[in-house]
Amino acid sequence: MDYSPIKQALINVPENAQESTVCSIFISELLKTLGFDVMETVWQFNTGNGGNTVDYAVRKNSDGDSFIITQSNPYLLLEAKGRNINLSSNSAHYKSAVFQIKRYLLAPNCKSAQWGIITNANHIQLFRKHGKVVHPALPCLEVTPDNLDKVVSTIKHKIDCPQKALTVAIYNNKGGVGKTITTVNLAAILAMLGKRSLIVDFDPNQQDLTNSLGLKSKEDSLFAWLINKSSPAPDGLVNPCKVSPKTGTVWQFDIIASDEKLQNLPEDKLLQHINHGRLRQALEPFKFEYDYILIDSPPNWRFFSKSAVYAADVVLIPTKHNNIFSLENAATAIRRFVPQIQNERKDGGPIALPIFYNGKSITEAARLNAEQAIDKIIGTAKKDKVHPFDLTPYFYPRSTPANIDRHIFSIPSYAHIAGAAFDRIPAAYKKKGVA
Ligand SMILES: Nc1ncnc2c1ncn2[C@@H]1O[C@H](COP(=O)(O)OP(=O)(O)O)[C@@H](O)[C@H]1O
Ligand SMILES: [Mg+2]
């Protein structure tokens, strides 16, 4: 029987192979199959973060530029483990390998790296980096001689045809925490940074995103686009929001406004036509065009917010430190809703980003109060008999397994934010502090 070289390599790896054996038999063949030759592969690449090296870095050579010689601008990093290390998801070794590849991807010499792989020839997982966000591009997969060719070709397809956009759902089951404000100001700030963003008003009941920019909601363009599965985006679906702060400079992001049809149609009628996977599919072409796609969603767990989370790579969760419900709802989204969509999608996504506090400056006493509430939420989730869950990284992202750091990102309250609603222009454009 003629096997592919990579399949033969996997079969040749001994059952309890140490890392060096996994590398020499399997990884070299894996990188070759992914399209990188020896001149494009650096072993023990210096990440520039202390003395840390990643096992492999690779990049395609171009004329007169050989990666093995310049050792600059890696495209993909690979951290290898031995088969004696258990990399099945949720094992302690898996968690520390994920932590490791994230750290390497964010290290100074790896700024250009867009992909990371961890594997021990039993399991493999692909991660994607967009800006400073690292998220799974595939689940942690068990590899066998039977599925290996398919797994490797899926990875190859992802890294050969990368999407440009990071798709972010802005979600919290609680209302009034700043979802809409965050969406619009993020788009404004990204426009000021020269990034191309598309924002989607997927809260048709409120239509706050559309209204906050002084736009009228449409008759039925968003509805028609979602229902009519075969057609490309209709004319007028995407509208530019432009501001010219001075001659010669234009800040622009684009918006898909809400429409009346979606507001008026009962949800059960809508579900007769489409399910919550449709938005993700419809947005697909835009993911090659924009740097960011931001989806504003309503404060419930029904069609529109499920669609937003299903469409996203990452979920951004605004909370308020003085609103226990916003914290509890954030925990529910992280523990239950996001994993529910992960189970449906089966591609490793989406993941929740760390929560942040939005609005109201925080006093020391209020901070201590919020900390107590959060510690209780974390403690309850950890002790859950059916689904124990560690929320620490989502509430306290700067913590390490050895050390709890209670820092939480926060956006203080800005009078300009509330005022901007009357001017119909994102506050970030008008006030440096807000930006
Ligand atoms: N950082 C902030 N500073 C001042 N006002 C804010 C801030 N974030 C939100 N707000 C105000 O809080 C209210 C609710 O925000 P909004 O974005 O509509 O919440 P959501 O979309 O979660 O319901 C709005 O009136 C908004 O102007
Ligand atoms: Mg809103």
pLDDT digits (tens, 9 = 90+) for 264-309: 899 999 999 999 999 999 999 999 999 999 999 999 999 999 999 9
Ion ligand 2: residues, CB < 5 A: 179-180, 208
pLDDT, tens digit, 9 for 90 and up, residues 340-351: 999 999 999 999
**Summary mean pLDDT of the chain:** 94
Residue 129 sits in a domain whose CATH number is 3.90.1570.30
| Domain limits for position 77 | 5-160
Would the pLDDT of 51 be above 90? no
pTM: 0.95
Instruction: Considering every ligand atom shown, identify the ligand nearest to the alpha carbon of residue 323 and give its number.
Output: 1
The answer to the question of residue 435 being in a domain is no
Would the pLDDT of 217 be above 90? no
Determine the pLDDT at residue 343: 95
Q: Ligand 1, atom 25: nearest CA belongs to which residue?
A: 418
Here the tokens at position 213 are 């920019």
Give me the mean pLDDT over the 52-69 stretch.
94
Domain co-membership, 155 together with 171: no
The answer to the question of residue 393 being in a domain is yes
Give me the mean pLDDT over the 97-126 stretch.
97
pLDDT, tens digit, 9 for 90 and up, residues 353-373: 999 999 888 889 999 999 999
Domain co-membership, 424 together with 359: yes
Give me the mean pLDDT over the 318-325 stretch.
94
The answer to the question of residue 128 being in a domain is yes
The answer to the question of residue 309 being in a domain is yes
In Å, what is the CA distance from 148 to each residue of 71, 180, 309? 29, 43, 30
The answer to the question of residue 146 being in a domain is yes
Q: At what angle do helices 338-345 and 303-311 cross, to 10 degrees?
A: 60
Main-chain phi, psi angles of 252, to 5 degrees: -140, 135
- Boundary (domain end) residue, out of 105, 140, 160: 160
The answer to the question of residue 123 being in a domain is yes
Rounded to the nearest angstrom, the distance between the alpha carbon of 406 and the centre of ligand 2 is: 28
Which ligand 1 atom sits closest to the C-alpha of 420?
27
Provide the number of structural domains found in the chain.
2
Residue 28: pLDDT band (50, 70, 90) is very high
Mutate-to-test residue for ligand 1 from 170, 322, 417, 422, highest number of ligand atoms within 8 A of CB: 417
pLDDT, tens digit, 9 for 90 and up, residues 234-269: 888 999 999 998 999 999 999 999 999 999 899 999
Determine the pLDDT at residue 361: 80
Q: Ligand 1, atom 9: nearest CA belongs to which residue?
A: 178
- What region, left, alpha or beta, does residue 214 occupy, with left being phi > 0 and alpha being psi -120 to 50 degrees? left
The answer to the question of residue 142 being in a domain is yes
Mutate-to-test residue for ligand 1 from 174, 177, 179, 181, highest number of ligand atoms within 8 A of CB: 181
Domain co-membership, 152 together with 173: no
**Rounded-to-5 percentages of helix, strand, coil across the chain:** 40, 20, 40
Query: Which residues lie with the beta carbon below 6 Å from any ligand 1 atom?
Result: 175-181, 208, 358-359, 411, 413-414, 417-418, 421
Domain co-membership, 370 together with 347: yes
Domain co-membership, 187 together with 108: no
The answer to the question of residue 73 being in a domain is yes
Query: Rounded to 10 degrees, what is the CA torsion of 166, 217, 254, 283?
Result: 40
Domain co-membership, 146 together with 187: no
Residue 292 sits in a domain whose CATH number is 3.40.50.300
Domain co-membership, 154 together with 197: no
Domain co-membership, 11 together with 25: yes
Domain co-membership, 177 together with 156: no
Domain co-membership, 243 together with 262: yes
- Boundary (domain end) residue, out of 103, 135, 160: 160
Domain co-membership, 148 together with 204: no
